[in-house]
């Protein structure tokens, strides 16, 4: 059911949205949404909004003035959960497509039953699960915002599917907020019926290794390179590791052309990006054969894909 809501319209499920606010845990920090998007300036860092304020915003909107000087009421279509430290360590995992579940299963090390709070947009294979990051682990994720996976180990998503981790400075639309294609988000397991599960140990280990690699993967200022190597390292680290896939692959091929000693450099540089998947560099490196791509490509790409 397509939703044709507009910002000047009060949402049809206004009362339901307000009633649900009272049922949500008090430590959940919420931000108002318009068509799934957070719109308040600085919403990622602002103090927690009161439920009274959100209720009034849903029921009455806020007065805006158009460019021609006419006033109008701007309404919201729902609210999103601010994940991360804003909500005392809540992490949302967004399953975007049926094949994304295979990535999650691979991360867990098997098909393990998970019982936690979850919700869906109603689209096939689209849902989110919520987890509590243990207090003693939260410092590891203090600089972690989000991560998108389309492959892990030897498992890959179908085209268009992905698994996304959301933590600091992210938000996830909650039921019964409006969804532009399906009408409304709905609960799979509501927080008043089931507690938020502790983040599985396997996911903790995966995120910890990734965060460690990001911190430790910067060029070592104490490592001695000869002049040509130093130029290469400087050029490589000017390139955004979240560059397009074909660019990332060409960089790997270019480093491969110079010998095995450059694998660690490629892997370390790659690990600084949000797209990084453990073992992917190793898998691709093994697949490389003699190629026409040379180290000159790194210098060329440094000029075109610099951060």
pLDDT in tens, 184-216: 999 999 999 999 999 999 999 999 887 765 544
pLDDT at position 159 is 86
Question: Could you tell me which residues come within 8 angstroms of residue 165 by beta carbon, excluding any fewer than 6 positions away?
Answer: 91, 92, 93, 94, 146, 147, 148, 149, 207
In a 13 Å sphere around the CA of 223, the CA atoms on its Cβ side amount to 10
pLDDT at position 264 is 83
Closest to 291 measured CA to CA, from 261, 255, 240, 243: 255
pTM (2 decimals)?
0.70
Low-confidence ranges of the chain (pLDDT < 70): 1-3, 212-227, 278, 306-307
**Distance between CA atoms of 172 and 170, rounded to whole angstroms?**
7
pLDDT at position 143 is 87
How long a stretch of residues is the chain?
307
φ, ψ at 37 (rounded to 5°):
-105, 135
pLDDT at position 223 is 44
Question: Could you tell me which residues come within 8 angstroms of residue 197 by beta carbon, excluding any fewer than 6 positions away?
Answer: 114, 115, 116, 117, 130, 131, 132
Distance of CA 90 to the CA centre of its chain: 13
Tokens 């210098």, located at residue: 299
- Identify whether the C-beta of residue 193 lies closer than 8 Å to the C-beta of residue 115: no
- Please say whether the dihedral angle defined by the alpha carbons of residues 300, 303, 304 and 305, taken in this order, is positive or negative: positive
Long-range contacts at 227-230 (CB < 8 A, ≥ 24 apart): none
Question: Could you tell me which residues come within 8 angstroms of residue 35 by beta carbon, excluding any fewer than 6 positions away?
Answer: 5, 77, 178, 180
> Which two tokens mark 207?
């995120």
pLDDT at position 306 is 65
- Identify whether the C-beta of residue 200 lies closer than 8 Å to the C-beta of residue 114: yes
**Distance between CA atoms of 141 and 72, rounded to whole angstroms?**
42
Tokens 């909650």, located at residue: 174
In a 13 Å sphere around the CA of 115, the CA atoms on its Cβ side amount to 3
């Amino acid at each position: 059911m397509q939703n044709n809501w507009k910002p000047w319209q009060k949402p049809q499920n206004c009362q339901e949205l307000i009633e649900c606010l009272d049922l949500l845990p008090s430590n959940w920090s919420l931000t108002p949404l318009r068509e799934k998007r957070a719109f308040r300036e600085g919403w990622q860092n602002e103090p927690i909004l009161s439920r009274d304020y959100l209720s009034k915003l849903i029921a009455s909107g806020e007065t805006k003035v158009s460019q021609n000087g006419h006033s109008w009421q701007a309404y919201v279509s729902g609210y999103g959960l601010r994940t991360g430290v804003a909500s005392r360590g809540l992490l949302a995992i967004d399953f975007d497509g049926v094949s994304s579940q295979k990535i999650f299963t691979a991360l867990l090390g098997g098909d393990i039953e998970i019982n936690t709070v979850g919700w869906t947009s109603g689209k096939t294979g689209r849902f989110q699960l919520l987890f509590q990051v243990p207090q003693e682990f939260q410092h590891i994720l203090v600089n972690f915002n989000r991560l998108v996976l389309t492959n892990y180990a030897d498992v890959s998503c179908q085209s268009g599917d992905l698994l996304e981790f959301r933590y600091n400075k992210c938000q996830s639309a909650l039921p019964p907020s409006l969804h532009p294609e399906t009408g409304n988000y709905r609960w799979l397991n509501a927080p008043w019926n089931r507690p938020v599960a502790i983040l599985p140990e396997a996911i903790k280990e995966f995120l910890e290794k990734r965060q460690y690699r990001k911190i430790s993967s910067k060029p070592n200022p104490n490592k001695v390179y000869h002049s040509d190597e130093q130029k290469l390292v400087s050029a490589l680290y000017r390139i955004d590791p979240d560059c397009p896939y074909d660019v990332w692959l060409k960089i790997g091929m270019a480093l491969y052309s110079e010998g095995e000693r450059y694998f660690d450099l490629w892997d370390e540089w790659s690990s600084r990006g949000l797209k990084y998947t453990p073992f992917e560099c190793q898998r691709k490196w093994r697949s490389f054969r003699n190629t026409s791509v040379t180290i000159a490509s790194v210098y060329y790409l440094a000029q075109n894909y610099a951060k």
